[in-house]
Amino acid sequence: MTEATTEALVEVVDLGISFGETRAVDGLSFSLAPGAALGVVGESGSGKSASAYALLGLHRSTGAVVDGTVRVAGTDVQRASDAELRRLRGGVAAMVFQDPLSSLDPYYAIGDQIAEVYRVHRGGSKRAARARAVEVLDRVGIPDAARKARSRPHEFSGGMRQRALIAMALACEPKLLIADEPTTALDVTVQAQILDLLHGLRQETGMGLLLVTHDVGVAAESVDDVLVMRQGRAVERGPVRDVLGAPKAAYTKELLSAVPRLDAAKPAASDAGEPLLEARDLRKVFGRGKSSFTAVDGVSLTVRRGETLGVVGESGSGKTTLGRMLVGLLDTTSGTIRRDGTAVQMVFQDPVASLNPRRSIGESVADPLRASGVRDEQRIRARVGELLERVGLDPDRYDRYPHEFSGGQRQRVGIARALAAEPQLIVCDEPVSALDVTTQAHVTELLAELQRELGLGLVFIAHDLAVVRQVSDRVAVMRRGRIVEEGAVDEVYGSPKDPYTRQLLAAVPTVDPVLAAVRRAARKELREQLREQAGAAGRDEVAAA
């Protein structure tokens, strides 16, 4: 028996994964003791997800070549028969995926999907399996689980879906939970709830956790050990406090220094000049009648020359709609925008989707020039070359196509295109949220540089509070179409007045694991207080009735 207890839950030795010519993972070894939690941290393309998939043998018959050994709870994943592998998947080790909407079957009720997985491993009647589904849904905090089990995935919110996926993972009481970017698609307050849930479940069930994430803060909140990956190899591994507190590898240091922090403020703007844009009481209503939806509800703001206004909020808060109205891409339902001849341009979130894949990047940058009536081809080429150089790209790559560029480079193209029209004000809508942290830092630096040189006014729209803090002079916090708090960035972050701002700030993961534990406890206390208050209110109502 001693052997069984000391045997590692996961034992990976010299794992290599190749997709055709690409070596995605190379010589990766790690182990995980029963009940332990390991975070695998890396930027996109580091091979972290591919490694996690290998634990369940998910590369089998996909064309990927896997070598090395992978043992999970005594099963040799590489050599296991298909039937053995199926027993392992979901029964012993269960996976939680990134995008909870697409990861559930849209056609079936959530409870039935969980019940199906349960019956595959445990058998029994459909009735018993449904009961188990309701039980686990209740366990992950789905209110009114018996009724909600009959809902389809699209009827759930993002956070509820992720809870449902976790419930599916719990259905067969696995020994290992593999979570692949479980909170990446979620708002920051929901992310905090999910991470707390995972933490609580781990304490309660004693299962091991392998958490794959690009977000160092998420790892700091959730795991004991951390493994930093880069280009398919392990760069550093150790207890989370050591690796994040005193990193040894140069790459880990670089990664950590690139992570935007809530306490790192932008150097104060030299001189906020005259107002470039004034918006008064903006409203935007989509649809009409009963199905109408007010996306922006009475927002006023001013942006001055040389300053950055950060607009922060969760999904659905109306920040993108606001940005589009400021640029003039959307009509306002009511309210006024005074631009006083200010040329306004926009930089979009997704540099892949916002560049035409069939046109060279030079042509895309030249678009605003042509639109403004420049016809002289030589002048256009020269000006585009200048712009590309200005954003840190090689002007000789004028004729290259978007797919030949990395995500960060594509965003630079997007910025060059915005600059082509010589704007005084640029509205950036989530300009760095699709990028890795090290790339994020470079792009925000570029924006700051351009601002200093050209005296640009910037509106920086983002969901990431830390990024907004880093780049903004003033910040507006949006919720449900309204600005709940606005002010100098130090004031809003230092002494937030609105409870929603406080809640947002409390939910931001910190890269300091000690602080993370303290804050988790504080969040738990806050939740209990709220529950008690709600309970007391309920009793009062009953008493009054």
Partner 1 sequence: MTGFLLRRLGGAVFVLLALSVVVYLVFYAAPGNVAQIVCGERCSPAQVAQVHDRLQLGDPIYVQYWHFLQGLFAGRDFSSGVGVVHCDAPCLGLSYRQDSPVTDILVNKLPVTGSLVIGAFVLWILLGVGTGLLSAWKRGGAIERTLTGLTLIGFSTPVFVIGLVLIIVFCSTLGWLPFPQYTPFSDNPEQWFWGLLLPWISLALIESAKYARLVRSSMLETLAEDHVRTFRAYGLTERAIVGKHALRGAVAPVIALSALDAGSMFGGAVLTESLFGIQGIGKLLVDSVRQVDLPVVVGVVMTTGFFVVLANAVADALYAMADRRVVLQ
Residues in contact with partner 1 by the rule CB under 8 A: 56, 58, 85-91, 94-95, 97, 99, 102-108, 116-117, 120-121, 152, 154, 165, 168
**Shortest distance, position 120 Cβ to partner 1, whole Å:** 5
- Closest to partner 1 by CB, 71 vs 390, is 71
- Closest to partner 1 by CB, 209 vs 504, is 209
d(CA 364, CA 417): 7
**Shortest distance, position 91 Cβ to partner 1, whole Å:** 6
- Closest to partner 1 by CB, 99 vs 254, is 99
Nearest Cα to 460, choosing from 260, 292, 163?
260
Tokens 């993370």 belong to: 516
- Closest to partner 1 by CB, 179 vs 477, is 179
d(CA 510, CA 314): 18
**Crossing angle between the packed helical segments 377-390 and 361-371, to the nearest 10 degrees:** 120
Residue 410 tokens, joined: 């594509």
**Shortest distance, position 7 Cβ to partner 1, whole Å:** 22
Residue 2: CA count within 13 A, CB half-sphere: 0
- Closest to partner 1 by CB, 154 vs 403, is 154
With residues binned 3-state (H G I as helix, E B as strand, rest as coil), the percentages for the chain, rounded to 5, are 45, 25, 35
**Shortest distance, position 104 Cβ to partner 1, whole Å:** 6
- Closest to partner 1 by CB, 165 vs 416, is 165
Q: 237 near 40, Cβ under 8 Å?
A: no
d(CA 72, CA 272): 59
**Shortest distance, position 105 Cβ to partner 1, whole Å:** 5
Q: Is the dihedral of CA 103, 108, 114, 116 positive or negative?
A: negative
d(CA 430, CA 74): 45
Sheet containing 22-32: give its strands across.
22-32, 10-19, 65-72, 75-76
CA 114 from chain centre, in angstroms, equals 26
**Shortest distance, position 53 Cβ to partner 1, whole Å:** 8
- Closest to partner 1 by CB, 109 vs 188, is 109
Q: What are phi and psi of 457, to 5 degrees?
A: -90, 140
d(CA 77, CA 183): 27
Q: 326 near 311, Cβ under 8 Å?
A: no
- Closest to partner 1 by CB, 10 vs 327, is 10
What is the DSSP code (8-state) at residue 479? E
